[in-house]
Every structure is written in structure tokens, then in C-alpha cells.
Amino acid sequence: MKILLIPLDDRPVTYSYPQLLAKLGGAEAIVPPRTMMGSLSRGAQIDELFSFCEGCLSRNEVDAVVVCLDSLLYGGLITSRRSTEQVKTIQARLDRLKKWKELSNKPITIYAQSSIMRISDNYDNTEEKEYWSRFGRELFEWSACLHRLASGEKLAPGLLESLERRIPGDIRQDYLDTRFRNFTINMTVLKSMEDGLIDHLVFSQDDSGAWGLNVGERDRLISVSQQMSLQNKVNIYAGADEVMCTLLGRLLMAENKPSLQLQFSPENCSTVASRYEGQDIGTTVQAQIKAIGLNINDSSNTLTMIVHGPSERQGDHITLPGLPDFSNIDSSKAAANTINLIESAPGFVILCDVVYANGGDPILMEQLIKRPELLKKICSYAGWNTTGNTIGSALGTAVCTIAGLEINNKAVSDSQKRSLFTRLVDDWAYQTKVRKELQGEPSTQKLAELISPYIKTVSAALGFEPSVRLSFPWRRTFEIEIGFEGG
């Protein structure tokens, strides 16, 4: 199968990693040149991107499309929050996309993602409009107040008025206008499902609290999709950067999906609040399993999904100014239990590491990395960013692995080792250990020096010694890219 992939942007987790998963699943990924994609400081080359995609379709080069609509409609995930373009401009692009299935002489399956514009609770404008550095947290709280009022909740006297005095009127209006534009487009995308434009659709919601205008939009999209009887074709849940992995897994295992045995370690971690998602870990897990289309079966001997989580509060390897430090969680009991669960698992293991946001659990990983025989049982591992990012990418990797095993065992073995190597080095070695040592300086020389011992450790544990190149794709320490020499 040949699949056209149009990622959210040019980051490794959205551009490079899905290509690895397609190969893992026995498919050929066709992607636009990376220079066409959006980045942190620039939007995608939208017209060139459309031309590339339409050329692939008209030449009958692909069997399916997995498209992140933010790239084609706004220029990327970041640009979707910053762009000042009008609804009619975005709508014209969507109308162009509606003709895609007519371009090919053979049936084309289209899976798509569209994001619900986030609202983050901080003063960091790196990925937002400039005014977020002064009014970010006030906008977050104001948004929550508006949602509470719309839901019939009572507010503390004077709270809304106080926030509106602190946030200039023109900024409040700009924020509302941008939200309204993006929500209008999302409603149009949803209603286009009736015309057969998209075969499966995900609305992803990242960086959210329990209350906010984004949550209200999510609930409205859920309600309309139910009224349209689209529950089996539309998923709406917490996530973003991992969604292409999920859609790839769903596409490549369209039939004969394996059943899944689900284990929480500790058992109560499903009820612990998930950072940046406004819900508990268990809710995220169930939504991600539903999105990829798997079924839970306690007697499954094919796949065991272990959610390794916190017992009381999810940690965070990132500590923002003015917020508590949760970068040191005692997970020793959970780690011992997780090791036991891996040992007793009858088949492949999907290991979802959510003790922390923004990195893996060092206590678990330092034990696991010493047990190569257990690593051989792990079909996929993830422990990066949010719970949704971790769960979705781990599930997508596992499903693609199983799909690929039916086609070519040798190719799957090579790709699966690259996948596991990437996640262990990035999510554990970099995010947990090395990143804080860089102190915000994206120095590739210092990165190479600090991470080299961990790479040797991971290579030895996996019996896999690739030649890798390391970089900071967005010139910041939030993410790194692990490239493999020779492809």
C-alpha cells in the first residue's frame, strides 16, 4: 500500500516518526518535501503543498491519504493559532480538498485530523500570538469562566469583570475571533463527512483544562457528530502530535485487528489527573484505544498494554516559573509491579509510560534497560509529552508492527528496533536525563557529549548499534531529532 502523508508540521514526531511507522506496517509513505511543511516560525507553503498532493492523486500514485488538515488550511498547527486569515480564505482551501477523490482513477481512502485550538495556562508565547506572554494565564482563566457561565455554573462575584479589566478588549476580541474562525471551519469539516470527503476523522484537543472555550467546542462537535450518527467515523479526544500514528495504525489494520489486554500499574493510576488534558489518565486511555479501533479482551494473548502510571499525582519533567516542581515522583512500587507484568505477559507488550508528562520514568527505565530479555517482549514503548501523545503513539507503533509482521518479518524487525531505539533515547535518555543539563541551550555538541553514554546503553540492551545524527529541529531544547545514517 502507498500512503500519502501530510503531517501537522516538520517536527520529528509529526514528520519523521510516522514515516517509520508506515514502513513498520509494510506500507510505502509518500510525503511532501520537508521544506514545504510548517515550522515554529513559518507556515507551510500551502499552494505548493496542494499541488504536490493533487499531483500524487492525479497520477494514481497512492491508495490512501492521511492528512492533518491544519497544514493545508492554515499552514500548520502553530500557524492555526497565529494566522489572521478570514474564514472565506480557509473555506476556499477546504473546497479544493473536497475534489481530491475525483482526481484519482481508483478508490482513495482519506483519513484526516483537525485540531481544536488549544488554550495553554502559561505566559509562554513561543507557539502563540505575541500577547500570550502578558495575558496567557488570564486568557486561560477568562476562557474557563465563559465556559462555566455557558454551562450554567455560578462564578465568584466580580471574577469575570476583574479578568476583563486585566485583559485589553482588543486582545479579548482577537482571541474570540480566532477561536470562532477555527471552530467554524471544524464544523464545516464535520458536516462534509456527509458528502464522503473523509472516511475517518479525528478532532484532536491538546493543552486543555477541565473548563474552557475549547472544551465547549469539543462538546459541541461531539453532540453534532452524534446527531449525524457519525460515532464510528469521528473521534474527538485529547491529543495532537500522535494522531497520525493512530490513523496509520487504524488504516493498516482495517481488518482483523488484534484484541488487547489492558493493565494499569498501579491499578488506581487510571483515576489520577492527566496533566494538560483536563481529565484522568483512564479517560485518555479509553479514548485512544477507541480511536485506533482496538477491543479490550482480558483473555487476549496477542497484545498486553501496560499503562505505567503514578499512584497519586502525575509528575512533570518540565517545571515552569511560578509552578510547583513535580520532577521527582517515587514510582518504585509501580516500577516493580510493571516489571512483573512484563515478565508474565503471554505475548507482545505495549508499554505506556505516563508517570510523568514530558518524559519517561527514570526508576522504571533504569531497571528495564538492564533486562534485555524483557525489552525483547516490548512491541512498542512511549513516554513523551502528554498522556495522549504517549498512549496514541505506543498503540500506533504496536498495531503497525503487527500489520507488518504479516508481510515481512525481517523488515519489521529492523524498523521496530529503530522505533524502540528512538523512543528510549528520546523519551528516557534525553527528556528525563539530558535535557535539564543543557539549561535551555540547544547545543548539538553538548547534546552529543551528554547523551552518548545513554545511546551506548540503549544500543547494548537492544543489540542494535545504529549510526545516528542528532539535532534540534526547532532550535530549542523541547525536542530533538534522532536521525539514522543510511536512511
**pLDDT for the residue numbered 273:** 97
**pLDDT for the residue numbered 454:** 98
Q: Which fold has domain 2-121+177-251?
A: Rossmann fold (3.40.50)
Q: Which among 175, 176, 174, 146 is positioned nearest to 159, based on CA atoms? A: 146
User: Which range is least confidently modeled, 7-11, 116-120, 341-345, 482-486?
Assistant: 482-486
Distance CA 8, CA 28 (A): 19
Provide the edge-to-edge strand list for the sheet that holds 303-308: 295-296, 259-265, 303-308, 348-353, 378-382
**pLDDT for the residue numbered 299:** 77
| pLDDT tens by residue, 74-123 | 999 999 999 999 999 999 999 999 999 999 999 999 999 999 999 999 99
| pLDDT tens by residue, 195-227 | 999 999 999 999 899 999 999 999 999 999 999
* Whether the predicted pLDDT of 393 surpasses 90: yes
CB atoms closer than 10 angstroms to residue 487: 6
Q: Which among 22, 424, 62 is positioned nearest to 247, based on CA atoms? A: 22
Domains 2-121+177-251 and 256-425 share a fold: yes
Distance CA 484, CA 101 (A): 35
| pLDDT tens by residue, 438-453 | 999 999 999 999 999 9
Confidence of residue 413 (pLDDT cuts 50, 70, 90): confident
- The percent of residues in the chain predicted with pLDDT above 90, rounded, is 92
Higher per-residue confidence, 415 vs 86: 86
**pLDDT for the residue numbered 255:** 66
| pLDDT tens by residue, 244-288 | 999 999 999 866 678 899 999 999 999 999 999 999 999 999 999
CB 34 within 8 A of CB 40: no
| pLDDT tens by residue, 131-165 | 999 999 999 999 999 999 999 999 999 999 999 99
* Per-chain mean pLDDT for the chain: 95
8: Cβ contacts below 8 Å, ≥ 6 apart: 14, 38, 68, 70, 71, 76, 77, 113, 115, 240, 241, 243, 244
403: Cβ contacts below 8 Å, ≥ 6 apart: 25, 26, 249, 252, 253
**pLDDT for the residue numbered 188:** 97
Structural domain boundaries of the chain?
A: 2-121+177-251, 256-425
Confidence of residue 487 (pLDDT cuts 50, 70, 90): low
365: Cβ contacts below 8 Å, ≥ 6 apart: 353, 383, 424, 428, 432
Higher per-residue confidence, 300 vs 451: 451
| pLDDT tens by residue, 39-50 | 999 999 999 999
CATH architecture of 256-425: 3-Layer(aba) Sandwich (3.40)
| pLDDT tens by residue, 314-360 | 999 998 777 789 999 999 999 999 999 999 999 899 999 999 999 99
